[in-house]
Structure 1
Amino acid sequence: MRAAGESDDAILARLRNLAPVEIPMRATGLPYGLFLDAGTPAERANADAVAAHMDALMRVPTIKAGAVMPDACPSGSQIGTIPVGGAVACENAIHPGFHSSDICCSVAVTIFKRDDDPSRVLDAVQRVTHFGPGGRADAIRPVFEGTEAFSDNPFLKDLETVALKHFGSQGDGNHFAYVGRLKSTGQIALVTHHGSRGLGAQLYKRGMTAARRHTAIVAPEVPAHNAWIEADGREGRDYWRALQVVRSWTKANHAIIHAMVREEIGNPVDDAFWNEHNFVFQRDDGLFYHGKGATPSWSGYAADDDGRTLIPLNMSEPILIVAHRDREGSLGFAPHGAGRNASRSRHLRENGDALAAELAALQASGLDIRSYCGIPDHSELPSAYKDAASVRAQIAKYDLAQVVDEIEPCGSIMAGDWERDAPWRKGR
């Protein structure tokens, strides 16, 4: 109108007559694929909670299809929060809440050419990287290819320092470094599990702000945690590009840790690959597939897909190397691990002193279980997770992925219960 010579008063009058078209929530949720079996009371309670969230989630108007993996468990108390092990396909919409703050949580493996002592590999991991909150004291340069994208993208602007500080470090919680032997050959393998650290957390916060601002206008009925960014709009294009930068950073972060370990032990690489299991993918149908703790299981899910992905179960179980199956009902996803039937706090409360005995038994069996901070995190012990054999059986039953090899455990490192000895707890 301005280009046509209209006055500001005329433009304002037109704007006042424009009523936004509000997109309502669906009255009832769409059906979704359910690949979650429940036998015990704890499993049934977990499955009921997952279903309650999914039933509400599938009312969100952008969602066209959904699925629940065998490792599913609730990931929040707000009704309609996408569960861990949930996957949804959305039309012209990217939902930051569906990938959460741990953007591109992923696993990477290096298989070494020569035999080695697993404990020596774990020692090298402890020397070269850092587990837990915060970043490295000794920054690694260059960070990774693609740093120039930060200043050009409003979602990444001024995050270069965070990207540099956290590069070459691991996270806390269930993030780990795992050393084992390939079942087929006996070769030593290193697997790391982490996401995009502080960089991804900051992008998520900015993404949620943009999503809530947009959804409050176009779909005020939609809960804030289900807000979305319009994918074909300017913000959507910027956010999609930012996600790809964070993916590149995370892949490079795995790679630099593996490279430092390789240099420490002087053992050449025979094979290596990686995959994300907490991300957003766009398929040929144009929809945006959000996997919240779900492993992509279709060919070409990314340009660097080599046909194999990793599914860890727990520290005492093999890590599965699997091939794609592209099951339609599961939206092409497979589980990303074993999942939980109870929250961390509930597991600690209900099991108490038995957890220390469980850890001692694992170590007595020959597993080299370490905590980077020196204090074990009992909420990460195998008993905290679903039965690994049951999850494996459901993967096979529902044809979600095909196991082609396994990495049998020798030992692992996690951050441990660093909060127990945190300065603010000491003061309290």
Structure 2
Amino acid sequence: MTDKINGHDLIAAGFTPGPQFPQMIDLANQLIGDGHSREGAFAEIREQIGPEPEPIALRTNNLPFGDFLGNFIDRTNGFETTNYRKVVEHMDALMRVPVIRAGAIMPDACVAGTAMGTIPVGGVVAAENAILPDMHSSDVCCSMAVTIFKRNDDPKKVLDTAQAITHFGPGKRAKSFVRQHKDLGQLLSTFGDNSFLSGLEGKAEEHFMTQGDGNHFLFLGHLESTGQMAMVTHHGSRGLGAQLFKRGRQFAQRSLRNSRIPKHQAWIVADTAEGQAYWDALQKVRLWTKMNHFAIHNAIARKIGNAVDTQFWNEHNFVFQRADGLFYHGKGATPSFKGFSPDDTGLTLIPMNMASPILIASHADNINALGFAPHGAGRNMSRTQFLKNYDPEPPEGIDYRFYSGVPDYSELPEAYKDQRSVIRGIKHAKLANVVDRIMPYGSIMGGEFRWGRP
């Protein structure tokens, strides 16, 4: 029996979405039921509605976007000005995508790919009835989480304990170890009902309580306001999220294969069954990531015998739907508007580098910034380019560690933008309200795992 025609099939056949779509879908399925082939049904629909529509294409002109980077760069720094020029070029191209209605770049924005129109790190776009997988990227729900402890402790002992409990780089957790977490098991039991998640249960188990590599970290310090010890983790949804992104991207590209939309700008129509399934999958992966953060935190708290005072977290690589119905995609951008998530506490975390304080901020909801703030200090060049041009010095006075035992010099503070300019951008444009800082003691990062790349 032939599968029924849906809206994505019509789009793939070259039809433009619109109010006539339900009628066209009904007619196509009626014709197929009467014995027509798919091609025959599509031909009959074209005959009845008139000439074949033009394929979906990019807008001729781009829309304007909020620029919160240009006023806070060092114009005498060639790397910085080049990065800014490229970020603007990518955003100009991206703002031609027909479903995108608004955009913005944060003070930490940097180039994230070579295909023109790739959303920068530190970029935000709002889309109508569309979810664009490449706009949240493969590191789905990359996020920050903090635990503030009731009692201070020897920070070296705490960091030693954290290093023994957390996990960076290759390898995986034993399923018997992971299955002690009953809430995780309940979440994974719902994966089979979602076409984008079915079969990924094993990946979700193996990567639980792991943090990956690159710029992910476990950071230990104390609140500037009270002196309380605070621990922060930074990571996303690991292999689970990467596989969800891969499936979503493939579906989006198949759906628009007869369009003139570049593959990296393809979208899933949000109000279709597939769009609702992808949205549901994103929410489940979000829950997995939150569990992952706090499973690590709580295991460390138990091991050191310290009580938890406060915990909160926030995403900065995700999709959010606001009251206007649009889907806000933040690629390395921190939401700074009330109710961005069901568990919004009114506070978010904005890190800079391993040797600098992590900002605790309350929401500002700058409309021109689409309600977002930076997610960190950003870069002015790629890791490879940085290592070719700089001989970085490790920071002094910080207990910094690399899990692999081999330093990743592309993660030293010099590899990032000047945090002072990013903070000036946050404060000047009122992107967020800095209410406290976590002063650094030290951090653990993945390091170099000798995978044949920096």
Per the normalisation by structure 1, the TM-score is 0.93
C-alpha distance in 1, partners of 2:312/2:37? 60
Structure 2 residue corresponding to 1:345, chosen from 375, 381, 384 = 384
C-alpha distance in 2, partners of 1:390/1:4? 62
Kept in 1: contact 2:220–2:440 (CA 8 A): yes
Q: In structure 1, what is the equivalent of residue 253 of structure 2?
A: 212
- 2:189 is the counterpart of 1:162: no
Q: 1:323 to 1:16 in 2, by over 3 A?
A: same
Q: Which amino acid aligns with 1:8?
A: G
Q: Percent identity?
A: 56
Q: In structure 2, what is the equivalent of residue 71 of structure 1?
A: 108
C-alpha distance in 2, partners of 1:410/1:188? 10
- 2:433 is the counterpart of 1:406: no
The DSSP-based 3-state class of the residue aligned with 2:188 is coil
Which aligned pairs between 1:107-122 and structure 2 lie closer than 5 A? 107-122=144-159
Displacement after TM superposition at 1:134 (Å): 3.5
C-alpha distance in 2, partners of 1:3/1:215? 24
Q: Deviations over 1:348-397 (max 9, x none)?
A: 0111xx32xx11xx2xx321000001001000000000001110011001
Structure 1 residue corresponding to 2:343, chosen from 282, 304, 311 = 304
C-alpha distance in 1, partners of 2:428/2:33? 66
Q: In structure 1, what is the equivalent of residue 57 of structure 2?
A: 24
C-alpha distance in 1, partners of 2:80/2:108? 10
Kept in 1: contact 2:73–2:421 (CA 8 A): no
C-alpha distance in 2, partners of 1:339/1:196? 20
The DSSP-based 3-state class of the residue aligned with 2:380 is coil
Displacement after TM superposition at 1:4 (Å): 9.4
Q: Which amino acid aligns with 2:68?
A: F
Q: Deviations over 1:393-424 (max 9, x none)?
A: 110011000000000000000010112xx5x7
Structure 1 residue corresponding to 2:84, chosen from 22, 47, 50 = 47
The DSSP-based 3-state class of the residue aligned with 2:123 is strand
Kept in 1: contact 2:354–2:443 (CA 8 A): yes
Displacement after TM superposition at 1:24 (Å): 2.1
Displacement after TM superposition at 1:145 (Å): 4.0
Q: In structure 2, what is the equivalent of residue 102 of structure 1?
A: 139
Structure 1 residue corresponding to 2:410, chosen from 347, 372, 379 = 379
- 2:288 is the counterpart of 1:231: no
C-alpha distance in 1, partners of 2:33/2:350? 61
Q: Deviations over 1:136-180 (max 9, x none)?
A: 246312335422221000100110000000011111000000000
- 2:420 is the counterpart of 1:389: yes
C-alpha distance in 1, partners of 2:199/2:411? 34
Kept in 2: contact 1:144–1:249 (CA 8 A): no
The DSSP-based 3-state class of the residue aligned with 1:298 is coil
C-alpha distance in 2, partners of 1:417/1:201? 21
Kept in 1: contact 2:32–2:41 (CA 8 A): no
The DSSP-based 3-state class of the residue aligned with 1:216 is coil
Greater mean deviation of Cα atoms: 116-125 or 1-10: 1-10
The DSSP-based 3-state class of the residue aligned with 1:241 is helix
Q: Deviations over 1:204-230 (max 9, x none)?
A: 00001000011224xx21100000000
Displacement after TM superposition at 1:234 (Å): 1.1
Q: 1:221 to 1:129 in 2, by over 3 A?
A: same
Q: In structure 1, what is the equivalent of residue 294 of structure 2?
A: 255
Q: 1:105 to 1:12 in 2, by over 3 A?
A: closer
Q: 1:9 to 1:418 in 2, by over 3 A?
A: closer
Kept in 1: contact 2:109–2:121 (CA 8 A): yes
How many residues in Structure 1 have an aligned counterpart in Structure 2? 412
Displacement after TM superposition at 1:5 (Å): 11
Displacement after TM superposition at 1:28 (Å): 1.5
- 2:439 is the counterpart of 1:415: no
Displacement after TM superposition at 1:125 (Å): 1.1
Displacement after TM superposition at 1:23 (Å): 2.2
The DSSP-based 3-state class of the residue aligned with 2:61 is coil
Q: 1:113 to 1:81 in 2, by over 3 A?
A: same
Q: 1:169 to 1:14 in 2, by over 3 A?
A: closer
Structure 1 residue corresponding to 2:353, chosen from 314, 317, 325 = 314
Q: In structure 1, what is the equivalent of residue 178 of structure 2?
A: 140
C-alpha distance in 2, partners of 1:47/1:25? 23
Displacement after TM superposition at 1:11 (Å): 8.0
Q: Which amino acid aligns with 2:126?
A: A
Q: Which amino acid aligns with 1:399?
A: K
- 2:401 is the counterpart of 1:366: no
In the alignment, structure 2 segments of 5+ residues that lack a partner are 1-26, 47-51
Q: Deviations over 1:247-289 (max 9, x none)?
A: 0000000010001100111010111100000000000000000
Q: In structure 1, what is the equivalent of residue 20 of structure 2?
A: none
Displacement after TM superposition at 1:56 (Å): 0.5
Kept in 2: contact 1:211–1:227 (CA 8 A): yes
Q: Name the Cα RMSD after superposition.
A: 1.7
The DSSP-based 3-state class of the residue aligned with 1:66 is strand
Q: In structure 2, what is the equivalent of residue 80 of structure 1?
A: 117
In the alignment, structure 1 segments of 5+ residues that lack a partner are none
Q: Which amino acid aligns with 1:286?
A: G
Displacement after TM superposition at 1:6 (Å): 6.5
Q: In structure 1, what is the equivalent of residue 244 of structure 2?
A: 203
Q: Deviations over 1:313-343 (max 9, x none)?
A: 0011000000000000000000000000010
C-alpha distance in 2, partners of 1:410/1:193? 16
